[in-house]
A and B are shown apart, each in its own frame.
Chain A
Amino acid sequence: MPTRRDTWITGVGILSSLGEGAETHRRKLMAGEPPVTDTATIPGYVVHPLAKVIFDTQIPKKGDQRQMEPWQRIGTYAAGLALTEAGVAGKSEILSEMDMIVAAGGGERDIAVDCSILTELRTANDPEARLNARLQTDLRPTLFLAQLSNLLAGNISIVHGVVGSSRTFMGEESAGIEAMRVAQARIAAGQSEIALIGAGYNGERADMMLLYEFARLCLRGAYAPVFSTGRAPGMAAGSVGTFLVLESRAHAQARGAKPIARLAAVHSSHARREPGGLKRALAALIENARGEADPASTAIFSAASGAEPATSEEAEVLKAVGLPVRAVASRIGHGFEGAFPAAVALAALAVNAGKLYAAMDAPLETPGPAHLRQAIITCAGHWRGEGVGVVEAVD
């Protein structure tokens, strides 16, 4: 077995309700700026809407933008930010060898077409024949490609030229955990030198929210932090794009790239969610991740979704751990497949600054250490899947 190699995070691209770019996020979160939410986009439901973005800066061709639905634009834009930040944008000799794992969900539907068809079918004599006829005339051919899960990766290849390899993981939060874990494991084992990992999510879509609302998991009414007193509030979706450039230390040093932080480990588990299952799995992962970490310089970044019962159970585990916690979804909303990558990205930026973000007025958000050196990132999927990552400062 090959010697395990250091994995550095050399680029972070993030786009959310707080704005765009690593520095914007770090500055606003350090300053404790309140989350940006609205309940008008999808009446009655809390979402964290995307900040105003001029997509042309990372997706210069309007033709490319037209071929994408917003989730793909968000992701492709964030990927461009990450590549730029890492200093590899446009460097085809590196991009042609760069591995990519995208964590993706479903695409967005044509809401107007869906609603128009559903309205007509209620009174149609031969609804199945009408459905066929309407779909054939109303569906835009290119919309299919804007919906396919693997087409975020496809668009990143086309727009940014990342072509070394391209894989798309699916499965909600688990997809983001496994994307980071596999990319890190491949670099550590010498199977990969540089990789682009991340996700894009459009939180402002009623069609996407429908899947979660079947189980009544979405946050209705007023905004509340994911870790609130009492029951978890529900999931407030966030429009978030996050990509990270992961790189072997040797590869980064050879091109003179500076690390933002070291991605020391990613571990996952797949607990059956019977009573206590999540808590046991997450506690074991955290215990394993803590290792020799000095509690005086460590914090937890939680990707908790806000859904019951997973978030309440995670809160119990984190309370027992006793380290200061920062809940990412309380700040930028829940990004599903992108939840774990976003938490890793924001953790890396804080560790890089040596300082934890301002606490929110919420349980578990105790003051941070004077010098933040290490972050443990936790992710308990709203339904299945648990993961923990460790990010460390590089001296």
Chain B
Amino acid sequence: MAGNLDHAGRPVVAVTGLGVVTSLGRGKAENWTKLTEGRSGIHAITRFPTEGLRTRIAGTVDFLFDTPVAAPVLSERLATLAAEEAVEQAGIGTKGNFPGPLFCAVPPVEAEWPHRRELASECDPAQPITYPALLAAAGRGKHADWHEGFLFGTVGDHLADRFGAKGMPISLSTACASGATAIQLGVEAIRRGECDSALAVATDGSVHAEALIRFSLLSALSTHNTPPEAAAKPFAKNRDGFVMAEGAGALVLESLEHARARGAKVLGIIEGCGEMADSFHRTRSSPDGKPIIGCMKKALADAGVSPNDVDYINAHGTGTPENDKMESMGVIAVFGERAHGVPISSNKSMIGHTLTAAGAIEAVFTLLTIANSRIPPTINYEVADPAITLDVVPNVARDHTVRHAISNSFGFGGQNVCLVFAGAPQ
């Protein structure tokens, strides 16, 4: 039986609970079935009018509320469901009494247009709207609950209260790497002996008109509106951008020693984390790929795992022309000639880009990939890109034994994180 300390003498960090919600559905079972069937959760947006918008599709989660709710409300609900599933599976603590801290990746949210418009309706109709007028309306105190509703800390606060997590919850954002950062912070806290367990959650329920338009104005989104399920085309030559999506992922992290001592079923191991920021540009990767290469190399070194031992790469794979090209280049730089023999697939081809939540959702899927020895495909791969020569597991899931896997997350703002996973120790 493998020891409880890793190659560097640190506590091994086990995963004992997993939870997930995406546009494919609620829970691991439904998601895994659909994911390995190659089904897409992308659909036409019905939450708000999309007439005149260049992009009219997304992977929104529409099955939790009957009427549209504000982004933090949906984000909190998604996170709660994912965390409940993970904590229940882990069987850790008692209800409402999780024994460790919470690391919670949340989308940056603010009062939305419906709120602004309601406030505007309370201003003098004879005068143009100004912010001083809006402030005066706000100061009448009629919307006091919007304060708590839109604080950045609120989703994390509510989750910490609900699950009884210990200490101050950490709310965080590293854009599209946020979910991986939440896991990384939990791993570090366990490794330094600060806690025996941690709850890492990442959630994003922030698809609304302005968010969609903002990404659209950056030319980041696919405009392949029909059929929606064919829009996300990672690694394909005709890829034309990512598809915004919603969801949440949650992981119960535990020192292996703690998990074993309480007889918990270990689902997998987080062997290493690597990170390197990019100083090149706000939205584009450094042309030499140094930060992408660096974060993968750092993660493998942190894990004590050689590139030769990696059997699967869970790609960031957004489907933007830029990301997939740079990620492919980075993989080839790290894995050398072997790069073409290591399967790499993008969950985003099916669930879209869940932004803040992506790193955690894809960590859940990577651990399921290892546990089931089955790799979910990259769907919508119809036109090969001669510049990307990797084995992208096109269109159909594949049985494959995976001992070690990595999952990449790269964010706007140059925040790049790579996580290394292994199956449960024998």
List residues of chain A with CB under 8 Å of any chain B CB. Answer: 1-2, 42-45, 67, 100, 104-107, 109, 111, 114-115, 118-119, 121-122, 127-129, 131-133, 135-136, 139-141, 144-145, 147-151, 153-155, 157-158, 161-172, 174-175, 177-178, 182, 185-186, 189, 191, 206-207, 209-218, 220, 268-270, 272, 381, 383-387
Contacts and interface: CB of A to CB of B under 8 A. Distances in A.
B173 A139 contact: no
Given A158-B414, A269-B168, 12 more contacts: A42-B132, A45-B135, A106-B109, A135-B213, A139-B214, A141-B214, A141-B217, A147-B108, A150-B413, A170-B171, A186-B192, A189-B194
Given A42-B132, A145-B283, A206-B135, A185 B192 contact: yes
Contacts of A215: 141, 144, 147-148
A169 B170 CA distance: 7
B412 A2 contact: no
Interface stretch (B74-82, B223-231, B274-282, B379-387): B274-282
Contacts of A155: 282
Nearest to A385: B168
A166 B412 contact: no
Interface of B: 48-53, 106, 108-111, 113, 116-117, 120-121, 125, 128-132, 134-135, 138-139, 141, 143-148, 150-153, 156-157, 160-161, 167-175, 178, 181, 185, 188-189, 191-194, 209-210, 213-218, 275-283, 291, 411-415
Contacts of B139: 213, 216, 218, 220
Contacts of A213: 135, 138-139
Contacts of B110: 106, 109, 211
B279 A115 contact: no
Contacts of B189: 185
Contacts of A105: 152
Given A121-B117, A270-B160, A175 B153 contact: yes
Given A43-B132, A158-B280, A175 B171 contact: yes
Given A158-B279, A171-B156, A185-B194, A128 B49 contact: yes
**Residue from A136, A169, A272 having most chain B Cβ neighbours under 10 A:** A169
Nearest to B290: A163
A336 B111 CA distance: 18
Given A2-B192, A207-B131, A153 B277 contact: yes
A171 B277 contact: no
Contacts of B113: 131
A210 B147 CA distance: 9
**Residue from A121, A177, A186, A211 having most chain B Cβ neighbours under 10 A:** A211
A244 to B, nearest CB: 18
B173 A115 contact: no
A48 to B, nearest CB: 17
A122 B113 CA distance: 12
21 contacts: A106-B109, A111-B131, A114-B129, A122-B120, A122-B125, A122-B129, A132-B52, A133-B52, A144-B215, A145-B218, A150-B411, A154-B282, A154-B413, A158-B414, A163-B276, A167-B172, A169-B172, A210-B135, A213-B135, A381-B153, A385-B153
A166 B275 contact: yes
Given A106-B108, A167-B185, A157 B278 contact: yes
B138 A119 contact: no
A154 B153 contact: no
A272 B164 CA distance: 11
Given A157-B278, A383-B151, A171 B283 contact: no
B134 A172 contact: no
A216 B116 contact: no
A2 B8 CA distance: 11
Nearest to A105: B152
A148 B412 contact: yes
A127 B117 contact: yes
Given A128-B49, A157-B278, A213-B138, A268 B172 contact: no
Given A122-B121, A211-B111, A170 B282 contact: no
Contacts of A163: 276-279, 291, 414
Across the A-B interface, the 5 shortest Cβ-Cβ residue pairs? A171-B153, A154-B413, A206-B131, A189-B192, A215-B147
Contacts of B51: 129, 132
B53 A136 contact: yes
A43 to B, nearest CB: 5
A174 B52 contact: no
B147 A270 contact: no
Contact of A167 (B141, B181, B283): B181
B175 A209 contact: no
A189 B189 CA distance: 10
A383 B152 CA distance: 11
Contacts of B144: 214-216
Contacts of A207: 131
Nearest to A173: B153
B172 A136 contact: no
A165 B418 CA distance: 12
A182 B186 CA distance: 11
A211 B412 contact: no
B72 to A, nearest CB: 12
A185 B185 CA distance: 12
Contacts of A269: 167-168
A122 B141 CA distance: 22
A267 to B, nearest CB: 9
Nearest to B139: A213
A67 B411 CA distance: 17
Contacts of B150: 211, 214
A381 B157 CA distance: 12
Contacts of A387: 168
A149 B169 contact: no
Contact of B131 (A100, A210, A216): A210
A259 to B, nearest CB: 23
B244 to A, nearest CB: 13
A177 to B, nearest CB: 7
Contacts of B188: 186, 191
B153 A174 contact: yes
B276 A165 contact: yes
Nearest to A64: B282
Contacts of B216: 136
Contacts of A147: 108
A115 B129 contact: yes
Nearest to A212: B147
A132 B192 contact: no
Given A141-B217, A158-B280, A106 B129 contact: no
Contacts of A268: 167-168
Contact of A178 (B132, B170, B193): B170
Nearest to A190: B192
Contacts of A162: 277, 279
A148 B412 CA distance: 9
